[in-house]
Structures are given as C-alpha cells and as structure tokens.
Amino acid sequence: MLLFSIIIPTYNRADFIENTVKSVLRQTYTQFEVIIVDDGSTDDTETVVHSIHDRRITYYKKENEERGAARNFGMHKSKGDYITFLDSDDLFYENYLMNALESIKKYDIPLFFHLGYEVTDENLKSKIKIDYLKSDDIAIFVKGNPLSCLGVFLHKSIISQYKFTEDRDLAGSEDWELWLRVVANCGIKTDNRISAALIDHEGRSVLNYEEDKLIKRKELALKYAFEDKAVQEKFGPYMNKMIAYCDSYIALHLILSKKHKQGLKYIKSAFFRTPSFLFERRFAAIVKHYILNSIS
C-alpha cells in the first residue's frame, strides 16, 4: 500500500504540537509515518511529543537552522512514496490523506500536487479558503505563494532534486522559492477540496517587520529561483510583475508594522512596475490596513 511521509518541523510549539500530531493520527487512511524535526526547541516540545505513543511517530532533535533545513532533514529521513508537510501549529482534517490518495489515482502518480486548505482562527472558524487553484497554472505563482507548505505533496522520485534552500536570510520565502522551481520543471495538479487548516493565532503574527529583511527575502527568493533554467524560461516574461508583487508584499507588512512612510514607498514602486496592481485584492488590503492603523 502507498505510504505517506508527513514531515512536521517545529520550534518552541509545546502549546500546539499535541493537537497537530493528533490531527494526523485521526486520518481515515492509516498508512503513514510522522517525522517530527525539532529545530532546537528550548521549551517542553520534546516532552509533549514523547507523551504521544504511536509507532508511526519518529522524533529528531537538531540544532536550530530554520524551517527549510528542518524540512530537508525530514525529507532525507523519509521512507514514503509521497512527502507532505505540516507546520506544528496547523491541523489536518481526517480526510487529508484519503483525498490525497484519490488525487494520486486521478492524476496517475503526479510528481507534485496540492490539496485545498483554509485559514481559520483558533476556534476553527474559517477566514479564507484556498480552493481556487488550477492544475498547471503558473500565473498564480507570479503573485506570490498561494500554497504555503500546507497541502503540498512531492513524489519520492524528485525529493533528492528539489529541496528547500538553506539560507537564513531567505526564511519566510523559502517555500515560494522552491515551488517556483518545482512548478517550472514538474507542473502542478490540484484538488481544491478543503483538507486542512492553517491556524491564524497571535503567536504566528510578527508585527515588527524589518524593511531590510523583507527586501533581502525578496531578492534572495528571485535570485535562487532564477538560477534554474526552467524558471528562467517560464517565469522570465513575468519578472517585472513578480518584482511588483514582492514590493506590494513588503508594503503590506511594513504598514502592518505601522511603518507607513516606508510602506508607501513600495506601493509606488509596485504601481510604476505594474499599474494594474491598483485593481488587485492585495492593494485593497493594503489600503484597508493603512486606514485602520492610521486611526488606531
């Protein structure tokens, strides 16, 4: 039977990881292994994990090297036919792996595919649904990363070739950079059934975004991705738009940090590169947060 490897990188998530792991153990499809990679936690994460007894769980603790390195470590240890990822504060719904199995049969062993998920609050009240992706549509990746790491499946035959770039300055954009390379070379198949939840909680939100770090992430993501010839070929014509959307991402996060003057600078940059940006959802979000933060 087909085996799934579920890789859970974690760092100081003792308050969340038990629910995360138990959501995996409730799967209706039971042929899986859980690889928990503790990226140097200093809290009680290890104690919590060891309190969960299931032979399918393997726990590793390593020195802190950021999420990309932790996921790569997990992939190296994996034995499954497909690898999927789960952050240690998110949840799988019980149909996650069964939906994946059905997608694998439907698409005849795809190299790369994605299941739908939703962003919820801590009470699992849905806020946003990622259920609109189309198979082999690369245009959506021009505007950023609709996948996160939730719902992504990689076939075992490609994991030695496609790994996360282990650069600390890239942290936060390492997944988008990898997906650009995988999509350009392997395409992507999609199943928009909602199968998991990304939990939006206060501990996840970082409201002190530093301009220089955001810029560095943008530059590195594009630099590393465009070293790949297939990325150059397929995404090259969209480069100007991709830079504009990176600028809009920086603008949004600076405004969330109440750094309005710096944020406006990147809004202008995005507009001059791609005037149609004014009609995009992200521009409306930027305006909304700018107004809310200005009057608060």
Q: Give residue 278's pLDDT.
A: 77
Q: Is residue 171 part of a domain?
A: yes
pLDDT at 287 over 90: no
Q: Are residues 72 and 165 in the same domain?
A: yes
Q: Per-residue pLDDT for 128 more than 60?
A: yes
Identify whether residues 223 and 183 lie together within a single domain: no
- Which range of residues forms the domain containing residue 25? 4-199
pLDDT band at 9 (very low <50, low <70, confident <90, very high): very high
Q: What are phi and psi of 194, to 5 degrees?
A: -70, 120
Average pLDDT over residues 75-87: 98
Report yes or no on 206 lying in a domain. Answer: no
Q: Is residue 204 part of a domain?
A: no
Give the CA dihedral 147, 149, 152, 155, nearest 10 degrees.
130
57 found inside a domain: yes
Instruction: Give strand pairing partners of 63.
Output: none
Whether 174 and 146 have beta carbons less than 8 Å apart is answered as no
The pLDDT value recorded for residue 86 is: 98
Q: What pLDDT was estimated at residue 260?
A: 87
Start-to-end C-alpha separation, the chain? 56
Question: 29 with 162, same domain?
Answer: yes
Distances (CA, A) of 89 to 114, 136, 157, 199, 277: 19, 29, 28, 7, 33
Residue with structure tokens 């990188």?
A: 9
Are 124 and 222 found together in one domain? Answer: no
Helices (H) and strands (E) in the chain, counts: 11, 9
Token pair listed for 79: 């034995």
Calculate Rg over the CA atoms of the chain: 19
76 and 221 belong to one structural domain: no
Task: Quote the DSSP letter at residue 296.
Answer: -
Domain boundary among 199, 223, 244: 199
- Is 162 a domain residue? yes
8 and 102 part of one domain = yes
- 200: which 2 tokens? 């939006």
pLDDT of residue 252: 87
- 78 and 176 together in one domain: yes
Mean pLDDT, residues 103-123: 97
Residue partners of 108: CB distance under 8 A and separation at least 6 = none
The Cα 146–Cα 140 span in angstroms is 7
C-alpha–C-alpha distance, residues 265 and 10, integer Å: 35
Question: Do residues 291 and 166 share a domain?
Answer: no
pLDDT digits (tens, 9 = 90+) for 19-71: 999 999 999 999 999 999 999 999 999 999 999 999 999 999 999 999 999 99
Predicted confidence at residue 201, as pLDDT, reads 83
Residue 205: inside a domain:
no
Query: Is 132 among the domain residues?
Result: yes
Chain-wide mean pLDDT for the chain? 93
Task: Tell me which DSSP letter residue 41 carries.
Answer: -
State what percent of residues in the chain have pLDDT above 70. Answer: 96
Confirm if 1 and 21 have CB atoms less than 8 A apart.
no
Do both 120 and 161 map to the same domain? yes
Domain termination residue (choose one: 179, 199, 219): 199
Q: What pTM, to 2 d.p., does this model score?
A: 0.93
Is residue 178 domain-shared with residue 263, that is, in the same domain? no
**Cβ atoms of 17 and 49 closer than 8 Å:** yes
Helix (H, G, I), strand (E, B) or coil at 134: coil
**What is the tens place of the pLDDT at every residue in 151-201?**
999 999 999 999 999 999 999 999 999 999 999 999 999 999 999 999 988
Predicted local confidence at residue 204, as pLDDT: 62
**DSSP label of 258:** T
State the pLDDT at residue 214.
92
Give the mean model confidence (pLDDT) for residues 245-260.
Answer: 89
Backbone phi and psi for residue 167, each to the nearest 5 degrees, phi listed first: -130, 115
Domain count for the chain, please give it: 2
Q: Is the pLDDT of residue 277 over 80?
A: no
From 165, 199, 233, give the residue that closes a domain. Answer: 199
Q: What token pair was written down for 44? A: 């009680």
Is 239 found in the same domain as 189? Answer: no
pLDDT over threshold 60, residue 206: no
Residue 235: predicted pLDDT: 97
CATH number at residue 79: 3.90.550.10
Contacts of 252 (CB under 8 A, 6+ apart): 263, 282, 285, 286, 289
Instruction: Quote the pLDDT of residue 295.
Output: 60
Q: Is residue 129 part of a domain?
A: yes
State the pLDDT at residue 203.
Answer: 72
Residues 67 and 138 in one domain: yes
